[in-house]
Amino acid sequence: MEKKIVWLVLSCLMVAALVLASCAPAVTEEEEVVEEEEVPAVKEPQYGGTLTILTSHCTTDPLSFDPADFAWKTNHNVSPYMEQLLAGDLSRGAGGTGEFRFVDNEYIRYKYAIGCLAESFEFPEPLTLVFNIRKGVMWHDRPGVMAAREFTADDVLFTFERLMASPKAFAGHYDWVESISAPDKYTFVVKMNSFWANWQSTIGWGYYHNIFPPEMVEAGATDWRNACGTGPFIQTDYVSGSSQTFERNPNYWGKTTINGKEYQLPFVDKLIWPIIREIPTQIAAMRTAKADVMDLCEWKYVKGLEETNPELQRVEYLSTGTANVAVRVDTSPFDDLRVRRALNMAIDKQGIVDSYYGGHALMLSFPFSILWGEDLYTPLEKLPESARELFEYNPEKAKALLAEAGYPNGFKTNMVTSNLAPVIDLMSMVVGYWEEVGVDCEMKPIEYAAYYSTMMGKKFDQMIYFGKGNANPFRIFRTIALPGQSWNPSCFDDDYLTDKWNEAVTNPNIAEQNEILRELNIYLIEQTPYIYLPCQYYYGYAQPWVKNWYGEVNINARGPGLIHATYWIDQD
């Protein structure tokens, strides 16, 4: 009986379908059936999965895991798990309002910095800076190092007392600080002895200011196994020359808003940062999807990568640092300005833009970056002639200047470089140009760690390759042009520049600061303690399943960790 009913129902449905079909208008050869396109629903972020990211510094190992060692790369390598008082506001970045790119190594405009471990900050008095510490933030639970506990102002005080007492602290880095204190559990106070315009960079979100607990120092701060922080990830492994590995911090305080909805960070369960020295190997990792994101790709690999992997997401950005040559101005023959100017004019810099960079470079973006705007940056065509001619290829004038300085037949010299292939290739071109005006320069390539030590200790007698980030308008002068600085390999010491810089950094008026800094930028170019070379464009790539990726690189000084916490993987 049940079978008869089923068949009866099916028969009725078939008849009804035939009747409806006969009533439908016929489709002619000229007509097409147009179906409505389905609008894909906006996907909500998903949790889980592993992200493998080739960071902008994936070619080199960590230099130290202890911020008190004042090694520039520490900021980068600890950024997934150690946080700072302030950070950049990603809602003002490419994924939000688009006001700021967040690609600079160490430059966040004052108005784009927000609270991180400090929920807010204020100046109750002109020389008193108060950080209101975020409540409820927990340190990682690290067996053998520390049990999870609440982060407090005493931890901030401990961090900065240790940093200020470090024998490796840079000269003048904290000279503006009169005193620091933690009057209660959630307040950290900095008293200035005079106004310091660059306070955000030197205590808020800059280099060497990652906050760490006393327990980590007691266990041994230089050992990655004792690494501890408050950040979105927990470091679980490090293999020299291979990778750093991090796992999701289940108790992280941070959240993000996507499409008007708030989400707990981070999204992924595991984060892997490979260490790959060879760029072709990095490209192969992206081609075969062994890497999900590549923060930095040179122009020469762009065409091939996009031909084989057209589905990749891409961004373009101007490098926030350049390759230069530092010449020791405290040593003959570089103590003569004419020699330094001759070395600049002897190089076909436009030729380097066209041939070495394939046109993917800008002639001038150092010491000040063009990204900072004309309130600070002076375009090449607006420089005075004495500065502009340093970027014009003029080997005949270079020879004349050398002869005028007492070197009619040139001279012999040497240059220390790192042994990274791109550095050797570029410096070989530079040395070739110098040879044409009689300057015989021997290149001395060495492994990066040894090169870094040589540069910081000024253990070279003539010249050294100098890859330097633009930092920020104040810091760039302090590091490369003030006396006694580790990052001043040219040993430049100029009373006029030092006095004017001090005038700017103690001036609370931003417009007046900028006027002084813009003039000093031109002045330093004219004094040429460095051989200025073009600044290249870079490209960032992400696999199509990586979401909430906008090519941003740093949310603080060389710190991508908090940015990586916002990426999620489309599991479908």
Residue 278 located in a structural domain: yes
Residue 41 located in a structural domain: no
Tell me what the mean pLDDT of segment 245-274 comes to: 97
Q: Is the pLDDT of residue 534 over 80?
A: yes
**Cβ pair 405, 342 in contact under 8 A:** yes
Residue 446 located in a structural domain: yes
| Rg of the chain taking only CA atoms, in angstroms | 28
Are 301 and 351 found together in one domain?
A: no
CB-based contacts of 250-258 (< 8 A; 24+ apart in sequence): 251/138, 251/141, 251/148, 252/565, 253/134, 253/136, 253/137, 253/138, 254/562, 254/565, 256/90, 256/566, 257/91, 258/44, 258/45, 258/548
Lowest mean pLDDT among 105-109, 323-327, 345-349, 515-519: 105-109
What is the C-alpha to C-alpha distance for residues 401 and 424, in angstroms, rounded to an integer?
27
Helix (H) or strand (E) holding 307: helix 302-308
In the chain, the number of structural domains is 2
CATH number for the domain including 522?
3.10.105.10
SS3 271: strand
Tell me what the mean pLDDT of segment 324-347 comes to: 97
Tell me what the mean pLDDT of segment 53-78 comes to: 95
Residue 148 located in a structural domain: yes
**Cβ pair 210, 77 in contact under 8 A:** no
Residue 291 located in a structural domain: yes
Structure tokens of 460?
Answer: 């070279």
Residue 337 located in a structural domain: yes
Tell me what the mean pLDDT of segment 256-279 comes to: 96
**Cβ pair 517, 52 in contact under 8 A:** no
Are 346 and 488 found together in one domain?
A: yes
Spell out the residues 6+ positions from residue 102 whose beta carbon is closer than 8 angstroms to its own: 88, 90, 93, 94, 108, 552, 553, 554, 555, 563
Confidence of residue 30 (pLDDT cuts 50, 70, 90): very low
Q: Is the pLDDT of residue 16 over 90?
A: no
pLDDT at 371: 86
Helix ranges, 332-488 (H): 337-345, 349-351, 385-388, 395-404, 421-435, 448-456, 473-481
Are 98 and 183 found together in one domain?
A: yes
CATH number for the domain including 119?
3.40.190.10
pLDDT at 4: 35
Amino acid identity of residue 392, one-letter, is: E
Residue burial 341-363, b: 16+ Cβ < 10 Å; e: rest: bbbbbbbbbeebbeebbeebbbb
Are 268 and 325 found together in one domain?
A: no
Q: Is the pLDDT of residue 35 over 70?
A: no
The strand order across the sheet containing 118-125 reads 118-125, 128-133, 187-192, 177-184
Condensed to tens digits (0 to 9), the pLDDT of residues 175-228 reads: 999 999 999 999 999 999 999 999 999 999 999 999 999 999 999 999 999 999
pLDDT at 42: 59
Helix ranges, 140-240 (H): 153-165, 199, 214-219
Condensed to tens digits (0 to 9), the pLDDT of residues 427-448 reads: 999 999 999 999 999 999 999 8
What is the C-alpha to C-alpha distance for residues 320 and 513, in angstroms, rounded to an integer?
21
Confidence of residue 23 (pLDDT cuts 50, 70, 90): very low
Are 284 and 163 found together in one domain?
A: yes
**Cβ pair 317, 369 in contact under 8 A:** no
Residue 33 located in a structural domain: no
Are 285 and 328 found together in one domain?
A: no
Q: DSSP for 438-451? A: TEEEEEEEE-HHHH
Are 57 and 88 found together in one domain?
A: yes
Domain assignment of residue 163, given as a range: 50-312+543-569
Amino acid identity of residue 55, one-letter, is: T
Residue 372 located in a structural domain: yes
Are 506 and 563 found together in one domain?
A: no
What is the C-alpha to C-alpha distance for residues 31 and 38, in angstroms, rounded to an integer?
21
What is the C-alpha to C-alpha distance for residues 73 and 207, in angstroms, rounded to an integer?
9
Amino acid identity of residue 71, one-letter, is: A
Tell me what the mean pLDDT of segment 1-30 comes to: 35
Q: pLDDT above 90 covers what percent of the chain?
A: 85
pLDDT at 2: 37
Predicted model pTM: 0.83
Residue scoring higher pLDDT (90 or 420): 90
pLDDT at 29: 35
Tell me what the mean pLDDT of segment 94-108 comes to: 91
Are 225 and 343 found together in one domain?
A: no
Condensed to tens digits (0 to 9), the pLDDT of residues 269-309 reads: 999 999 999 999 999 999 999 999 999 999 999 999 999 99
Are 271 and 387 found together in one domain?
A: no
What is the C-alpha to C-alpha distance for residues 213 and 218, in angstroms, rounded to an integer?
9
Confidence of residue 33 (pLDDT cuts 50, 70, 90): very low
Are 382 and 402 found together in one domain?
A: yes
For 501: left if phi > 0, alpha if psi spans -120 to 50, otherwise beta; the answer is: alpha
pLDDT at 41: 56
Q: Is the pLDDT of residue 14 over 50?
A: no
pLDDT at 422: 87
Condensed to tens digits (0 to 9), the pLDDT of residues 366-412 reads: 999 998 888 899 999 999 999 999 999 999 999 999 999 999 999 99
Tell me what the mean pLDDT of segment 407-424 comes to: 95
Q: Is the pLDDT of residue 34 over 70?
A: no
Are 143 and 256 found together in one domain?
A: yes
Tell me what the mean pLDDT of segment 458-473 comes to: 92
